[in-house]
Amino acid sequence: MSQKIKKIAVLTSGGDSPGMNAAIRSVVRTCAYHTIECVGVYRGYEGLMEGDFKQLDARSVRGIINKGGTILKSARSKGFRTKEGRKQAHKRLMDAGVGGLVVIGGDGSFTGALIFNQEFGFPVMGIPGTIDNDIFGTSHTLGFDTALNTVVDAIDKIRDTASSHNRLFFIEVMGRDVGHIALNVGIAGGAEEILIPEEDLGLDRLVESLNKSRKSGKSSSIVVVAEGDKIGKNIFELKDYVDENMEDYDVRVSVLGHMQRGGAPSCFDRVLASRMGVKAVESMLNGQTNYMVGLLDNKMELTPLDNAIKGKTKINLELLRVSDIMST
């Protein structure tokens, strides 16, 4: 292993996700394993510009693999979008003797990392951390699996009350641009319909489908709606529409919100985070830079950051079909 880099910095940026702590732990311990130093940067790029760094050794990340959130805190930085801000961040890193930066975050955070690299030639490596699973170059982002389990648990609970009262529930889940969470939890939670940004079902078909369910003997229903769905109405307008157009229905809305981002990471996310941290650090030590670490066919693979940012994840069409058949 060529070891020109003697010190690596790690930060978490953008929306937090379960598994970020496990990834920080992995980066720190992989550095310790290869006897290089590691510094944690607080509050993402904000802390990078301010030099808010803390030396981390193997023992300083004990007891965090099972914790949600991020011990390094996260932020969405406006300052780092400016050339002046990035210049300041570069000086901080140089002054601290840091030779490489691992960024745990989503595509916005990776865009910042790539621009930083292009401007200063500073080695960067991305670890995809977001519950949305909307990053090209990995089948799973950190936190996606945990969020799915959190949401399914919530849907199961809502179903109990829905069936006791013969009600229809619209449940909103996260996913600004993609429907990965909605599609998976919709199937796992036994939803009648799943509304996702990738597919415009249309109001008429929604009403038709709900009427069909009622006629087939179903007394309660769950409709899962991704927050960025394309049906053209927000979830409360959807409720009003169904209230007005379907007399027999008693409709309620539940917006799950940020609880989906919290909680202890699943076993899958802990293992994924541990693997990604090792791959990120060892790739940098091998001289590879400007990549994102991802899981493809159960192997750790590198995707150029540029492709990870520009590429789009695709919805699994087979899942759409399965969901249609399951709601028969």
- State the residues that interact with ligand F6P by CB under 6 A: 15, 106, 130-132, 174-176, 227, 261
| Annotated active-site residue in 16, 107, 132, 229 | 132
The CA dihedral of 146, 300, 176, 225, to the nearest 10 degrees, is -50
Q: Are the C-beta atoms of residues 169 and 223 closer than 8 Å to each other?
A: yes
Contact predicate 183/323, CB 8 Å: yes
Tally the C-alpha atoms within 13 A of residue 111's C-alpha that lie toward its C-beta.
Answer: 14
Task: Output the smallest distance, CB 181 to ligand F6P, in A.
Answer: 8
Token readout for 104 is 């745990």
Q: 């087979």: which residue's tokens?
A: 318
CB-nearer residue toward ligand F6P: 28 or 174: 174
C-alpha distances out from residue 43 to 51, 71, 80, 263, Å: 10, 10, 12, 20
Nearer to ligand F6P, 135 or 223 (CB): 135
132 catalytic, yes or no? yes
CB closer to ligand F6P, 175 vs 277: 175
Name the residue whose CB lies closest to ligand F6P.
Answer: 174
Residue with tokens 């601290």: 96
Closest contact distance (angstroms) between CB of 129 and ligand F6P is 10
Nearer to ligand F6P, 130 or 327 (CB): 130
Give me the least distance between CB of 143 and ligand F6P, in Å please.
9
- Show the tokens assigned to 279: 């791959």
Structure tokens at 256: 């799950």
CB of 174 to ligand F6P, least distance (A): 3
DSSP 259: G
Residues with catalytic roles? 132
